[in-house]
Structure 1
Amino acid sequence: MLTNNIGIFSRVITKRSSNYLRSNIIHRFNSSSASKPQLSWQEYFKLKKQRNTINLGASVLTGLGGAAITLVSISNIEFDEKPIFGFDPVIVLSSFVILGGGVGYLVGPAIGSSLFKLSNKKALQQFTFRDQQFLSKIKVKRVDPSSQSFSNPVPDYYGEKIYSLKDYKQWLRDCNAFRRKSKEFL
């Protein structure tokens, strides 16, 4: 009777421990799969290009808006033919319009990155993980710019013009050519 109860007790413990192990394995599997990126490199480069396009478009729009706002606010000012800051008033006021457009252009990427984050909420975490991976690869593979010259310029130091795997491979070849040229000519 005692051996029969022990057998039943051991089966219950084994069943419970196997369920615990199974749920633990599933939990670990799910948590580790969430931390690993599901975003392929092609999708990453597509999103990177989309981010840069949105930032550029937002910069152009905010630059034009800043220039327009400055122009409207300056057009309400009455001025006579006296010099402003020792310069002709038309030159000073037009430089203010250009300055307003420049400030607007600099504000554009902040608005563009917000729009990009809003439009790609689902893939944003994976995108930032891939972006960190990409930037660490660029940091390791890029060349030392101290040996650059007019005949041997540094190839895209920050990897800003890389939008595909083909571009990345070409960038690596350019970096190797730069290293080779800098060794041969120095």
Structure 2
Amino acid sequence: MGFLIVLLIVVLGAAVGVWLYIAKQGDANFKFIIDQRTDFTLTGITKETATFSATVPFINNGSQDGTLMDVFPRHFLPCEQFDAVDTDTRLTLDRANRNDGYWEAYIVPVTTGGSIILTVKFTAKSGDIKVVLKDMVDMPIDIVYQVVARSLWYIAKERLVMTADEIHKALAASEEAAAR
């Protein structure tokens, strides 16, 4: 009987030790660093469309590697607020710039990160895009991301705001550059 009690104590001690080891290992913890993003710049313009892009850094500041399985933008520009354009937003990893809207799963080692390129394309419903965007409003954009790591997968998001002022400045800078 004494042997069984000693064996039970050893097994329970080992189980507690394994649990503490696993708990100490931690997990991935991703953060898109919105306040370090670049300003939106004009990357392409036609009479009907204007395309802007910004770079947003991210980091895995957890204690384990993690995988960004799916990352996508969601813009908020309801027609009640501004109905003069159709809006398309996309993002891609800056190291593997894709133009098909597909996010390829990306393993991010602990304490490292990278950057995404967020692209916003406005298409005027009628008229010249430069004239239409003079009345543009601030537009919130969520970066939604799915993380797979040691714990159960989760979905999180960070919100940035593409300001009307940024759009106006980028258009003005483009006109200045074209005038030179």
User: Larger C-alpha radius of gyration, 1 or 2?
Assistant: 1
Q: Which has the higher helix share?
A: 1
Q: Which has the higher strand share?
A: 2
Shorter-chain TM-score above 0.5: no
TM-score (norm 1): 0.30
TM-score (norm 2): 0.31
